[in-house]
Amino acid sequence: MVPLPLSTTIHLFVRWIHVLAMAVALGGGALAWGVSHVADAETTLAVARTYEVAFWGALGVLAMTGIGNLGALAPAIPRGRWGVALLAKLGLVLVLLAGSALRSATVRAASDASTPATTVLERGYALTTVALVAVVALAAVMAHG
C-alpha cells in the first residue's frame, strides 16, 4: 500500500472532521426536534441544553474545517455555478448562526421559566434541522455538481 502524502492525509482528515461535526449538528437537531415533539418539558429542556452545547462546538468545528476545505482548492477556487452554491451556503450559514443564537437564548430563558415554551423550541429545532439539510444539499451540489 502506497502511503498518502502528508498534505493529502491532512485534507482527508479535515473532511472527515467536517462531516463528523455536521453529523453531530444535524443528527442532534433531529433528535432534539423529535424529543421536543413527544417528551415532557423537563426532558425536552435537558436534551435542548445538551444539544446547544454540542451544536455550538460542532458549528465552530464546521466553520474551521470548512475554510480548511476551501484552502485545499486555493488559489484556483472555482467560480460559476459552484461559486453561486458556495455563496448561497455561506449566506445560509450566517442565517443559521443568527437563528441558532436566538434558539439558544430561548432555551436559556425556557430553562428559567415556570411554564417553558416547548412548542417554540420544537419549531426552533425543526427549522434548525431543515436549514442544516439545506446546507448539506448545497455541499452535495458543490462536491458532485
Partner 1 sequence: MAEGDAAVDPLLRWTLASFHAATLLVAPLALLYAVGALGSLLQGVHTVTGFGLYLALWGLTWWTNGRWLAATRLDGLRETAVPAATWGAVTGVGFLFVLLVTVAASLPEPVTVAVFALVGAPVSAFVGAVVGAGFALVDLAVVAAGERLGTA
Q: Which residues bind partner 1 (CB under 8 A)?
A: 7, 10-11, 14, 49, 52-53, 56-57, 59-60, 63-64, 67-68, 70-77, 79, 83, 86-87, 90-91, 93-94, 97-98, 100-102, 104-113, 115-120
Q: What does each C-alpha distance from 62 to 39, 97, 106, 128, 129 come to in angstroms?
A: 29, 12, 23, 15, 15
In the complex, least distance from residue 143 CB atom to partner 1, rounded to whole angstroms: 17
Q: Rounded to the nearest 5 degrees, what angle is found at the Cα of 80, between the Cα atoms of 76 and 81?
A: 120
**Residue 1 or 68 having the CB closest to partner 1:** 68
In the complex, least distance from residue 59 CB atom to partner 1, rounded to whole angstroms: 6
Burial class (CB in 10 A: 0-12, 13-18, 19+), 103: buried
Amino acid at 66: G
In the complex, least distance from residue 27 CB atom to partner 1, rounded to whole angstroms: 18
